[in-house]
Amino acid sequence: MKQLLPKLAYFGIILLFIPKQAHAMHIMEGFLPIGWAIFWFALCLPFLMKGFKVIRVIVKENPESKLLLALSGAFTFVLSALKIPSVTGSCSHPTGVGLGSILFGPFVMSVLGSIVLLFQSILLAHGGLTTLGANIFSMAIVGPFIAVGVFKLATQWGLSFSIAVFLAAMLGDFGTYVMTSVQLALAFPSEVGGILGSFQKFASIFALTQIPLAISEGLLTVMIMNFLQKYNMKELVQLRILKAKES
């Protein structure tokens, strides 16, 4: 871990010196070799199946949470539609998966995030059907899992609820686009630098643009959570998010 940090810092600094114009988004239609496309689809299936199960259980045990489920889906819908200008001189959009991940766990968001990605690939030619598996994996599986992990860690470290939510949503968003870069690097290793060389190239396009947007996503998620805390305490406690002593 100690050795990893300087490496990561060094890598981050390198990224800052590769300014590039980019329109960060999901992997475009047809731009993943068929083997990789199938691989990512296969990887997503168990998560989606588990997600459907979890949603069924949640709705059955706690019908009131249907509204919160709808809110989580709606939040992802809105944030995915917001194309925000970024430091690279181009636009990208946040993912909005952090909120639902914190409320319901990662698997529920795998399903909801997939719905959004499907909508965007069919109606907006944004992302794609052949790359849907890879995009689901990055935005609706890796992002939510990072968000939940960060939220749990931050809570354990005794950080305040708002800070924990902020970090979870921000790093989940950022992690999504780092994963996208990894997926592209694996599919297109460069002849000179191999997979790592490609990763730097793609990360300078996807991840760098995402930094301010990830911060924005964190702030927006905290806003919604503030509201939920004020008006929806009982349900959040039922979902075991907030310790009862805080309510």
Partner 1 sequence: MFKKNLLLLIGVIILAILPLLFLQDAEFGGADGEAEEAITEIVTHYEPWFSAIWEPPSGEIESLLFVLQGVIGALIIGYFIGFMRGKHTKDHAKH
- Interacting residue ranges for partner 1, rule: CB under 8 A: 20-25, 27-31, 33-34, 67, 70-71, 73-87, 89-91, 119-125, 128-130, 184, 188-191, 198, 201-202, 205-206, 212, 215-216, 219-220, 222-224, 226-227, 229-232
Instruction: Give burial (CB, 10 Å; 0-12/13-18/19+) of 82.
Output: middle
Report CA dihedral (40, 54, 68, 73) to the nearest 10 degrees.
20
Minimum CB–partner distance for residue 87 and partner 1 (Å): 5
- 84's enclosing H/E stretch is strand 84-85
Q: Which CB, 9 or 122, lies closer to partner 1?
A: 122
Minimum CB–partner distance for residue 211 and partner 1 (Å): 10
Minimum CB–partner distance for residue 51 and partner 1 (Å): 20
Q: Which CB, 29 or 54, lies closer to partner 1?
A: 29
Q: Which CB, 4 or 199, lies closer to partner 1?
A: 199
* Helix/strand/coil (H/E/C) assignment for every residue in 58-96: HHHHCCCHHHHHHHHHHHHHHHHHCCEECCCCCEECCCC
Q: Which CB, 42 or 67, lies closer to partner 1?
A: 67
Minimum CB–partner distance for residue 123 and partner 1 (Å): 5
CA distance 86 to 24: 10
